[in-house]
Amino acid sequence: MSISKISSELFHKLVGLAALELTAAEGAYLLTEMNHQLSSVNALLQVPLEEGIQPTLHGIQCLGAGPRADAWQPFPTPGEILAGAPETEDGMFAVPDVKGAK
Amino acid sequence: MSLNQLSALEVAARVRAGELSAREALEASLAQIHAVDGQQGSLEQKPLDPSEEQKVHAFIRLTEDLARQQADEIDRKLSAGEDPGMLAGVPVSIKDIFTLQGIETTAASRILWNFKPPYTATSVQKLIDAGALILGKVNLDEFTFGSSSESSAFKPAPNNPWDPSRVPGGSSGGSTASVAAEEVALSLGTDTGGSIRQPAAFCGVVGVKPTYGRVSRYGLMAFSSSLDCPGPIARNVSDAALMLQVIAGNDSKDSTSSVVPTSNYLDALKEGVKGLRVGLSPDYTHLFYPDFETGELAMESIQKEISDSVQHAASVLADLGAEIVENVPLPNAKYGIPTYFVVSRVEAASNLHRFDGVKYGYRTPVEVDDLQDLIRRTRAEGFGSEVKLRILMGMYLSSEGYAANYYQRALKVRAMIRRDFDCAFDPHGEHRLDVILTPTTATTSFKRNDVFGNTVRMQYSDQMTVSANHAGLPAVSVPGGLDADNLPIGIQFIGPDFREDLILRAGYAYEQATLDEAWRSVRPAVLRQEVAK
Amino acid sequence: MKDYEVVIGLETHIQLNTQTKIFCSCKADSWEAAPNTNICPVCSGMPGVLPVLNREAVHKGALLAAAMHAEINPVSHFDRKNYFYPDLPKGYQITQFDEPIGKGGYLDLHMPDGVTRRVRIHKLHLEEDAGKTKLDHGLRLVDFNRCGVPLVEMVTEPDLRSAEEASQYLTQLRQLLRWIGVSEADMERGHLRCDANVSIRERGSQVLNTKTEIKNVNSIDAVRQAIIEETKRQIELVEAGGRVVSYTLDWDADTGKLSMMRSKETEADYRYFREPDLLPVVLTEEEITRVKAELPELPLERKARFEADYGLSAYDAEILTSERGLSDYFEAAVASFGGEAKTVSNWMMNDLSRLMNDLGKTASELVLTPALLAEIIRMVEEGKITAATGKSLLRKVEESGREPAQIVEAEGLAVIADSDALREQIQSVLDGAITEVESFRAGKESLLGWFVGQVMRATGGKADPKRTREILLELLRK
Ligand SMILES: [Zn+2]
C-alpha cells in the first residue's frame, strides 16, 4: 500500500491557515506525527463502503426539542463579557489593525 | 471507615438524615485533598520536592470558599426543614473543561489561564442545585486532547493513585484520580473517544459515557461537538447512577440534547441481569495498529489479564442468569480510531478558531502592530503541541481537495460502525443483545512519558472505547480486577440508545456479585501509604 | 469601439426583522444600543456555549423563499464557514452551504419601458451576521451587537444587463421584503446590503468573462452609479488592450469612486462542514403548505387587479401598490366609501399622500382610518362640505382623532347653501369692491373667479361654489 505523506510545503501552508507559528523543532515533530497519524487515517481509504450508506453527523438520531420561540431574554451581564477582554476601548474589544490585506 | 470512603449515596443519606453536616463532609474531603493531592497544577514551572512524586495532583484549583458557602446553605436548608437535594453534602470535583461562573476555567491550557466565564455549565448547575459541594477544578489533557492527562499545561499533571509513577489515563485523569484517591466521592468528566472510561479503567473507578444528548453539553468547552458527552465518575455503580440521575435531561440551551425521558437509574439497578442478553465480540480482543512506513495494519493482542477479566465477568453474569451471546460481529470497530482521527480533528480545529486573543484569555505580551501577528503569536504561545497538532490535522483533513476522501468518507465509516451496533441490538435480529461486554482498554496504566509524545500510540489507547462515541451509545467502565502489578483493569458495557439503565444494571450486578473477590480489598498505593504513616 | 453589454449578478444580504438573533435570545435590532451591550456568551463566541435556532428566522426565511418562487427545502442544514476575522467571534460563521432553506426561484423585473426580465435566484440561505469593526487611530475596535442577527443571503444568476435593471431589482426586492413583512429593508441601516458582480462582453456573446465584485454599496442609487462606473472602467481597460482581473472593489459613496480592495484570484478555503451543534431544520409538508398559504397577494398581482377591478391607471395602480399598507388602505377606503374607486384614488394620490409626507407616516400608521377618509369623501360628494373643507378635514381628523362629522358640526364647517345668508355675504363682498364691480360691469368678466375667491375667504371656504357663482352673476349683472 502506498502512503501519501504531507509535504513540508503543504505543512507550512497549513500552519499559516491555522494561524500558528512553530519553532523548527516543533514543526519537525508535528509533521512527523501528522504523517504517522495519516498512516492510520489512510486505512479509511481501503474500507469497502456499504452501498447506499449515508454519512452520519452524530451517529445517533438526535431527538432535540426543536427551534426556540422568538422571545427576547437579555443576558444579564454583558459587561462581564467585555471585562474579560485583554484590551478594550470605548466599550469595544480592541485589537491592532489588519495590515497588508492580501 | 473514614468519611472519605463513604459512597455518595451514604454521604447524602447521612446529611439528609441530619447525622452528618455538609460542613463536616466538606472538611473531611479538604483534609484528604491536603493529605494526598500535593501541589496543584500550575503554569509556573515550580521545582518539585521529591515527595511530590508520590502525590496525586488531581486539582488545578480548589474552590474552598464556594464549597463552604454551599455546605452552609445545605446545613441551613436542613435546619429550616427544606429539601437539600439528592446529593446533599457530597464532595464533587469538576473537570476544568466545564464553566463555573466567576471561577477560572482553563481547559488546562495557557490560552485560558485567566478566563472567568460569566455562565455556568448546565451539568455543573444541576450538581449544585442537587446539593453537591464543588470542591474544585481538576486537571486534564489540554482541551481534553489526550489519554494520559500529560498534555496539560498545568504541571504537575495528575498521577495514578494506584502507582504515582504512572498516568491516571485521560483526558479526565484529574477526575478519576480525585475519585480513586478518595478526595471526592464524585467527579464530572467528559468523554469524546473514551476520556471518562479509559481513565476510570486506569484508576479503578466507575465511569459512564451517557448516550449522546442525554446530558447537556452547555458550558462544556467543545473538543469534538458531535462526540462530546459529559458523564459521571464514581467509586461504585450506584453512585454513578445517582449522579447520572442528577445531570441527565433535556436542556433548552443545547439543541442536540434529547427530549427522550430519563429513567430512574437507581431503581433500575435492582432489576438484576436475569434473562439479559450479554454479547461478546471477537472484534474487541485485539487492535489493528498501523505501520508508519507501509501503512499496513498489524494485529496486536490486548493484555491477557484484561481479556481474562472480561471472560470472568461474563461467567459471573451467566451465573446470575444472563445469557452470554458469543461471536457478535462488530467488524467496523477496527476503523474507530482512523475515523476518530478525522472527525474529532476536523471539529476540534474549527472549535478552537475562537481562541485568538481578541475576546478573552491569553494574549501575547509581545508588542505587535498587526492583527494577524497578534493571533498567530497568541495561538503559538497559548496552545501546547498536542493542540497545535490536532488543529493542523483537522485543517488538513477538512481542506478542499482532501475533505471528500477523508472527512466525508469518515462520516460514512462512522455510519457503518453505528450500523454494526444497530444489528447487534436489533430486537428482531440474530443477536438481540441488551448489552455488549468488552474490555475498556487494551492495557492497564502506563508509565509517565512512556507513551506521551507518540501521538498515534496514545490515540490507540481509546480503541475499545471510541466506537460507542461514534455510534452515540451509552457505555460504562467498571473495575474488573487488578493485573500483576496491582494496576486496575476496566471492563466495559455498551448499551442501546438511552438505555443507561441496562449498562448500569449489568455493571451493578457484576459489582455486587464480586464484592468479596480478593482484589477488591486492595487499596490504591497513595492510600496505602497514608495508612502506613 | 465594439458594442459591449454588461453582465451583472447581485448578492444581497437581507436582515430579517425577528425579535431576537438567530442563535441566541439577544435582540436582533440594536441600532440604538451602545456597543457590546446587546451580547451574550453565545453571540460573543465564548467557549462551551451553543447555538439554539430561532423558529421565527426559519419561518421568515421560508416565507421569503416562497415569495421568490423558490422551492422550500423540507430538510435543510447549517454548516460552518471557517475563517479568522475579529468581527467573527467564533472563528466560523454558521451558514447554510449545500442544503439551504430555498432552492431556485426568480424575480420578474418590470422595467419602465414595459420589458419584463426574469432574474433567476442562484442561492437563498439563512446565516448569521458578523459584528462591526471600526478603525480608531491604529486600533481596530470591535462591537459584537450585530453578531448573530438573522440574515438571508440571496444571490442572483448573472441575469441583469444594465445598471438600471440592477437598481430595479433592488427596488422591487425592497418592496417585496416589506410587503411580506420579513425585513425592514432599510439600506442605510444595513437591513438590505448588496454586492454586485460585474463583467462585460461583446453584445451577442454568451461567454461569462472575468468579473469584479463591488462591495460596500448602501443605497440603490449607489449600486446603479457604481455599476456604471465599473462598466465604463472595464470597457476602457479592454479597449486599451488590457485584461479584467478578478478584484474586490470598494465603493466610496462620497467621491463616487471605486478602489481595489484585494485580489480574488486565490479563493479562500472555508473548510465548510455541517454544524454539529445544530440539528437539521425540518419543515413538514403541512408546514410548507401553511407558509405558502400565508403568502399575501404580491405587489404585481395586486397592481394588475387594481387596474382591472377599479379601473385605475397603470400609474395610479403602481403608486397605490408601492407599499402593502397603502394598498390595503386604499381597498378598505374604497369598500367603506361605496362609490367610485377612482375618487378615492384621487384623494389618496393627492391630498392624503401630501399629508403622509408632511407627517412622515405610512398609511397603516394614520389615525385617519380608511373609514374616516371615506366619510370625508362622502360628505364632499354629497355637497355637505366643500372640497376645500374636506381637504382641511384630513389633517384635523388625523391630529385630533375625532369624527369628521363632529368636527364639521363643532366648527360650523358645513356648506352655506342657504340662499339668503349667502346672498347677504356676497352683497357685503361686492359692497367692499366697488372698483372691481365696475370693471366687471365694464366687460372684464374674467374677474368672476376673483369674486368667488373673495366670497370663499369671507365664508372660510364654506360657501357652496355653484350657488355662489349663480348669485354673483345675478347681482353683478343687475
Ligand atoms: Zn447573544
Å between C256 CA and nearest CA of chain A: 23
Question: Residue B36 has which C-alpha cell?
Answer: 494526598
- Give the domain-ending residue among C411, C428, C443: C411
Residues contacting B227, CB < 8 A, separation 6+: B192, B193, B212, B340, B343, B344, B347, B469, B470
Per-residue cell: B154: 498545568
Assess whether pLDDT exceeds 80 at residue A100.
no
Contact B244, B232 (CB under 8 A): yes
**Interior angle at CA C164, CA C158 and CA C165, nearest 5:** 35
CB contact under 8 A, B117 and C273: no
Nearest CA in chain B to C52: B255
Q: Using the beta-carbon criterion (under 8 Å), do C271 and B403 form an inter-chain contact?
A: yes
Give the model confidence (pLDDT) of B51-101 as tens digits. 999 999 999 999 999 999 999 999 999 999 999 999 999 999 999 999 999
The ipTM of this complex is: 0.96
With H, G, I as helix, E, B as strand and everything else as coil, classify residue C426. Answer: helix
Secondary structure of B55-87 in HEC code, one letter for each residue: CCCCEEEECHHHHHHHHHHHHHHHHCCCCCCCC
Whole-angstrom Cα distance, residue B224 to residue B348? 5
Q: Could you give the CA distance from residue B352 to residue A18 in angstroms, rounded to a whole number?
A: 10
Pick from A67, A71, A92: CB nearest C58: A67
Helix axes B8-16, B237-247, angle to 10 degrees: 70
Quote the number of domains for chain A: 1
B349 by Cβ neighbours in 10 Å (0-12 / 13-18 / 19+) ranks as buried
Residues of chain B with confidence (pLDDT) below 70 = 529-533
Residue C417 pLDDT: 63
- The shortest CB-CB distance from C41 to any of A17, A81, A97 is to A81
Residues of chain B found within 8 Å of residue A25, distances taken between Cβ atoms: none
C46–B220: do the CB atoms touch at under 8 Å?
no
Cross-chain residue pair C19–A98, CB shorter than 8 Å = no
Picking from B357, B395, B397, the nearest residue to A17 by CB comes out as: B395
Report the DSSP beta bridge partners of residue B435. Answer: B278
Residues in chain A: 102
What DSSP string describes B397-421?
A: HHSTTTTIIIIIHHHHHHHHHHHHH
Amino acid identity at B181 = A
Identify the contact set of chain C against chain A, taking CB-CB distances under 8 A: 18-20, 24-27, 34-41, 44, 46, 52-58, 84, 86, 135-136, 138-144, 261-263, 266, 269, 274, 276, 279, 281
Contact in structure between B195 and B189 (CB atoms under 8 Å):
yes
For residues B58 and C167, give the distance between their C-alpha atoms in angstroms, rounded to a whole number.
65
With bands split at pLDDT 50, 70 and 90, how would you rate the model's confidence at C319? very high
Integer CA distances (angstroms), C223 to B22, B136, C123, C213, in order = 69, 58, 20, 12
Task: Check whether residue C156 and residue C83 sit in a common domain.
Answer: yes
Please say if the pLDDT value at position A69 is more than 90: yes
> Both C88 and C33 in a single domain?
yes
Asked, for residue A56, whether it belongs to a domain, the answer is: no
3-state SS class at B521: helix
- pLDDT tens digit sequence for C33-50: 999 999 999 999 999 999
Name the residue with cell 486565490: C266
Q: Who wins on pLDDT, C257 or A24?
A: A24
Beta bridge partners of C63: none
Convert C423-437 to b/e letters by CB count within 10 Å (16 or more is b): bebbeebbeebeebb
Catalytic annotation present for B477: no
Residue C393 Cα to ligand 1 middle (Å): 48
- Dist. CA B475 → ligand 1 center (Å): 35
What range defines the domain where residue C312 resides? 297-411
Tell me the mean pLDDT in the region C80-90.
95
Chain-chain contact of B217 with C50 (C-beta, under 8 angstroms): yes
The Cα–Cα gap between B435 and B421 comes to 10
Q: Is B171 part of the annotated catalytic residue set?
A: yes
CB pairs under 8 A between A and B: 219
Please give the C-alpha separations between residue B94 and each of B13, B59, B107, B230, in angstroms, as whole numbers.
Answer: 22, 9, 11, 11
Interchain contact A91–C (C-beta under 8 A): yes
Residue C77 has pLDDT above 60, yes or no: yes
Q: Is residue A54 part of a domain?
A: no
Residues C381 and C429 in one domain: no
Name the residue facing B395 among A18, A41, A95 (closest C-beta): A18
Minimal CA–CA distance to B7: which of B234, B197, B178?
B234
Clarify whether residues C305 and C260 are in a common domain: no
pLDDT band at C1 (very low <50, low <70, confident <90, very high): confident
B350 is catalytic: no
- To test the contact with chain C by mutation, choose from B104, B212, B255 the residue with the greatest count of C C-beta atoms within 10 A, namely B255
Based on the domain organization, do C269 and C317 belong to the same domain? no
Burial of C361 (0-12, 13-18, 19+ CB in 10 A): middle
Contact B306, B441 (CB under 8 A): yes
CB contact A91 to B (< 8 Å): no
The residue type at C406:
Q
Give the confidence band of C266 by pLDDT, cuts at 50, 70, 90.
Answer: low
Query: What are the grid coordinates assigned to B264, written together?
Result: 430512574
* Furthest-apart CA atoms within chain C: distance in Å: 98
The bridge status of strand C116-128 relative to strand C150-156 is antiparallel
Calculate ∠ Cα B475-B480-B483, nearest 5°.
130
Residue A102 maps to a domain? no
Nearest-CA distance from C171 to chain A in Å? 29
User: A40, A53, A88: which to substitute to probe chain B, counting the most B Cβ within 10 Å?
Assistant: A40
Residue-level pLDDT at C466: 82
State the helix-helix crossing angle for B409-425 and B336-351, rounded to 10 degrees. Answer: 120
Inter-CA distances, A25 with A6, B389, C452, Å: 17, 13, 102
What's the pLDDT at C473? 87
b or e along A3-12 (b: 16 or more beta carbons within 10 Å of the residue's beta carbon)? Answer: eeebeeeebe
C13 and C47 share one domain: yes
Q: C122: helix, coil or strand?
A: strand
Are B113 and B415 a contacting pair, CB within 8 Å? Answer: no
Residue with more model confidence, C457 or B468: B468
Q: State the residue for C-alpha cell 493571533.
A: B375
The Cα-based distances of B367 to B297, C11, C85, C138 in angstroms read 49, 39, 20, 14
Q: What is the pLDDT of residue A101?
A: 44
Same domain, C440 and C404: no
Task: Supply the range of the domain harboring residue A40.
Answer: 1-47
Among C29, C130, C140, C128, residue whose Cα is nearest residue C37: C29
- Burial label, B493 (beta-carbon count in 10 A; 0-12, 13-18, 19+): buried
pLDDT higher than 90, residue C432: no
Q: Would you say B184 and B93 are in contact if contact means Cβ atoms under 8 Å apart?
A: yes
Q: Compare CB distances from C40 to A75, A90, A92 and report the shortest one's residue.
A: A75
If asked whether residues C55 and C158 sit together in one domain, one would say yes
Beta strands in B413-482 (DSSP E): 435-439, 475-482
Per the DSSP assignment, residues forming a β-bridge with B279 are: B325, B436
Instruction: Say which residues have a Cβ less than 8 Å from residue C7's Cβ, sequence separation at least 6.
Output: C158, C160, C161, C198, C199, C200, C201, C208, C209, C211
Q: Report the C-alpha gap between B160 and B147 in whole angstroms.
A: 13
- Of all residues in chain C, the one with the smallest CA distance to B357 is C86
Cα distance between residue B453 and residue A29, in whole Å: 9
Give CA–CA dist B362/A40, Å, rounded: 34
What is the per-residue burial (b if ≥16 Cβ within 10 Å, else e) of C237-274?
ebeeeeebeebbbbbeeeeeebeeeeebeeeebbbbbb
Residue from C77, C83, C140, C278 whose CB has the most chain A CBs within 10 Å, to mutate: C140
Are residues A92 and C36, on separate chains, in Cβ contact within 8 Å? yes
Cα C181 to averaged position of ligand 1 atoms, centre (Å): 23
Question: Quick one: C141 and C230 in the same domain?
Answer: yes
The domain total for chain C is: 3
Q: In angstroms, what separates the C-alpha of B396 from chain A's closest C-alpha?
A: 7
Please give the pLDDT value at position C422.
83
Which strand ranges, in their side-by-side order, compose the sheet holding C132-136? Answer: A88-89, A92-96, C139-143, C132-136
List all residues 6 or more positions away from C434 whose beta carbon is below 8 Å from its beta carbon.
none
Q: In sequence order, what DSSP letters do the residues of C355-405 get, joined into one string?
A: HHHHHT--GGG-SS-HHHHHHHHHHHHTTSS-HHHHHHHHHHHHHH---HH
Tens-place pLDDT, residues C377-399: 999 988 888 888 899 999 999 99
Q: Is A89 a member of any domain?
A: no
The DSSP line for C126-169 is: EEE---EEEEETTEEEEE-TTTT-EEEEEEE-S-B-SHHHHHHH
- Helix, strand or coil for residue C416? strand
State the average pLDDT for chain C. 92
Give, in degrees to the nearest 5, the angle at Cα B205 between B87 and B164: 120
Q: Ligand 1 centroid to A52 CA: how many Å? A: 40
Do C80 and C207 belong together in one domain?
A: yes
Cα C244 versus chain centre, distance = 35
Instruction: Find the residue in C nearest to B96 (Cα).
Output: C48
Query: For residues B354 and B357, what is the distance between their CA atoms, to the nearest angstrom?
Result: 9
CATH number of the domain where residue C469 is located: 1.10.10
Residues 4-63 of A with CB under 8 A from C: 17, 19, 57-58, 62
Residue A73: which of C25, C274, C279 has the nearest Cβ?
Answer: C25
Distances (CA, A) of B471 to B277, B415, B435: 20, 8, 14
| Rg, chain C, Cα only | 30
8 A C-beta contact, residue C89 and residue C43: yes
Task: Note whether B356 contacts C86, CB cutoff 8 Å.
Answer: yes
Which of C379, C394, C411 is at the close of a domain?
C411
pLDDT tens, residue by residue, C284-303: 999 999 999 999 999 989 99
For C85-97, give the secondary structure using H, E and C.
Answer: CCCCCCCEEEECC
| Domains of chain B and any CATH numbers | 3-278+435-532 (3.90.1300.10)
- Residues C357 and C430 placed together within one structural domain of the fold: no
Last residue of a domain, one of C363, C383, C411: C411
Strand order in the sheet with B206-209: B59-62, B133-138, B91-95, B186-191, B229-234, B206-209, B475-482, B488-494, B435-439, B277-280, B323-325
Contact A97 C263 (CB under 8 A): no
In a domain, A75, yes or no: no
Residue C418 confidence (pLDDT): 67
pTM over 0.90: yes
CB contact under 8 A, B456 and A54: no
> Please, which pLDDT band fits residue C449 given cuts at 50, 70 and 90?
confident
Amino acid found at B92:
V
